Amino acid sequence: MKSTPWHILGAGSLGALWATRLARAGMPVRLILRNAARLEAYNAKGGLTLSEQGQRLTFDIAAQTMAAQEPIHRLLVACKAYDAEQAVASVASRLAPGADILLLQNGLGSQDAVAARVPDAHCIFVSSTEGAFRDEDFSVVFAGQGFNWLGDGQQTAEPVWLRELAAAGIPHQWTLDILDRLWRKLALNCAINPLTVLYGCRNGELQAHDEELRALCDELVRTLQRCGQPRAAIGLHEEVVRVIKATAANYSSMYQDVAQGRRTEISYLLGHVCKAAELSGYDVPLMNRLRAQLIDHLIGKGLPSS
Ligand code: NAD
Ligand code: KPL
């Protein structure tokens, strides 16, 4: 039986990491690029390159623009959170009824925006701890082993196509608790990432600011509880301390975005938590102040504040 093509929207770091591993395992993959100029640049490059454990391999993966006619049954959205809704809207007319859409975005907020845009699709949320970066256009370096949790927030049984991820060596598990996992990662990111930007430091250096971290975690815990996410709140400060020790030498993803002059996903991280707290009528002075300081910092660097 012919397998369903994987359409990959966003050929950046994670999009390329998934596309190359799926293609390597023999799955049909199609990259969806922004426009004809990007398609031309991709064709000139001759494929998508994966660097893994010192080995560099290029895969001649088929690519197309949004304007292609081929119906989409399975879509992996690998854009940044702030691009996801618009990107999906641009291929909405190609989605088959009930199409599976895997959303790889960090933080929260973009997933609901996508789901509202394409109500007939089956949206699946992915929480990924894998690490990848682009070393050049259409070339990705697999920088950190990790894991992918997938789920749709409902009591749905796992899709049969998950076995394709297993065949491709993409570590994963279907979970009924995907929202807990997304909220938990969001809370960790809110505690760690903004402070690394404001102190201009590696994750490990936050150990010198434990009192501030502890107070922030207390506020985050109470917010998660108020927002109906009590399980994501359990032992938060302890885990934050564990993560900053385990990743002591690393710069957080938000630090790296700012250092490289890239837009951050602030609205889907700290911004989302502050908004959720406001909607539930809960006062979060520490997070509001942190967010305001971060916005000032971003504006000072000439970067978007949302
Ligand atoms: P990236 O910037 O490397 O890639 C995003 C790609 O999407 C870019 O190539 C961009 O041109 C493309 N894109 C944007 N709008 C598009 C559109 N309308 N049509 C077609 N392509 C479009 O980003 P990334 O690092 O791969 O991150 C993607 C998401 O995954 C983010 O939410 C990020 O937080 C999350 N994430 C990344 C990593 C990582 O290690 N890179 C790890 C975990 C989670
Ligand atoms: O996920 C992270 C990131 O850098 O985005 C860490 C630092 C591990 C937690 O915030």
196 pLDDT band, cuts 50/70/90, is: very high
115 and 162 in a single domain? The answer is yes
Q: Please tell me what DSSP assigns to residue 279.
A: H
Kindly state whether residues 15 and 151 are assigned to the same domain.
yes
Tokens 């979970």 map to which residue?
175
Do 143 and 191 lie in one domain? The reply is: no
Nearest ligand 1 atom to alpha carbon 129: 43
Task: Identify the bridge partners of residue 134 per DSSP, sorted by sequence position.
Answer: 140
Tell me: the pLDDT tens digits for 164-179?
999 999 999 999 999 9
Contact between 77 and 87 (Cβ < 8 Å) = yes
Helix (H, G, I), strand (E, B) or coil at 52: strand
- pLDDT in the model for residue 1: 59
CA-CA distance, 272 to 306, in Å (whole number)?
Answer: 11
Residue nearest to atom 1 of ligand 2 (CA): 189
**CA-based diameter of the chain, in Å?**
59
Average pLDDT of the residues in 176-193: 97
Q: Which atom of ligand 2 is nearest to the CA of 255?
A: 4
Asked if 74 contacts 165 with a C-beta cutoff of 8 angstroms, the reply is no
Nearest CA to ligand 1 atom 32: 105
243 lines ligand 2 (CB under 6 A): yes
Residue 103 and residue 123 in contact, taking contact as beta carbons nearer than 8 Å: yes
The span from the CA of 216 to the CA of 192, in Å, is 10
What mean pLDDT, rounded, does the chain reach?
97
Same domain, 163 and 214: no
Instruction: Please say if the pLDDT value at position 190 is more than 80.
Output: yes
Residue 195 has pLDDT above 80, yes or no: yes
Structure tokens, 26:
């023999």
Report the distance separating Cα 45 and Cα 58, nearest Å.
10
Q: Are residues 208 and 172 in the same domain?
A: no
Residues 95 and 10 in one domain: yes
Predicted local confidence at residue 42, as pLDDT: 98
Ligand nearest to the CA of residue 144, numbered in listed order: 1
Q: Are residues 164 and 184 in the same domain?
A: no
- Regarding whether 190 and 124 lie in a shared domain, the answer is no
As for how many domains the chain has, the answer is 2
135 and 252 part of one domain: no
- β-bridge mates for residue 76, sequence order: 8, 102
pLDDT the model gives residue 155: 83
Q: What is the pLDDT of residues 121-157, one digit of tens each?
A: 999 999 999 999 999 999 999 999 999 999 999 988 9
Final residue of a structural domain among 135, 156, 176: 176
* 247 close to ligand 2 (CB < 6 Angstrom): yes
* Ligand 1 atom at minimal distance to the Cα of residue 87: 18
Residues 49 and 186 occupy one common structural domain: no
Per-residue confidence (pLDDT) for residue 178, from 0 to 100: 97
Catalytic residue among 2, 185, 245, 275: 185
**Ligand 1 atom index nearest CA of 128:** 43
pTM of the model: 0.96
Kindly report, residue by residue over 39-80, the tens digit of the pLDDT.
999 999 999 999 999 999 999 999 999 999 999 999 999 999
Residue 219 pLDDT greater than 80, yes or no:
yes
Three-state DSSP class for residue 149: strand
Ligand nearest to the CA of 128: 1
Does residue 105's CB lie within 6 angstroms of at least one atom of ligand 2?
no
Which of 182, 190, 193 is the pocket-test mutation for ligand 2 (most atoms within 8 Å of CB)? 193
**Ligand 1 contact via 270 beta carbon (within 6 Å):** no
> Which amino acid appears at position 250 of this protein?
N
Q: At residue 219, what is the residue type?
A: E
- DSSP code string of 60-74: --EEEETT----EEE
For residues 81 and 146, membership in a common domain is answered with yes
**Hey, whose CA ends up nearest to atom 24 of ligand 1?**
13
**CB of 192 closer than 6 angstroms to any ligand 2 atom:** yes
Q: Please check whether residue 306 lies inside any domain of the structure.
A: no
Q: Count other C-beta atoms under 10 Å from residue 166's C-beta.
A: 11
Domain that holds residue 233: 180-300
Q: Extract the tokens encoding 81.
A: 């959170």
Quick one: 55 exposed, middle or buried, by C-beta within 10 A (0-12, 13-18, 19+)?
A: exposed
* 138: CATH: 3.40.50.720
Percent of residues, the chain, with pLDDT higher than 70: 100
State yes or no: is 80 an active-site residue.
no
**Boundary-marking domain end, from 120, 154, 176:** 176
Q: What distance in Å separates the CA atoms of residue 28 and residue 259, rounded to the nearest whole number?
A: 37
Ligand nearest to the CA of 11: 1
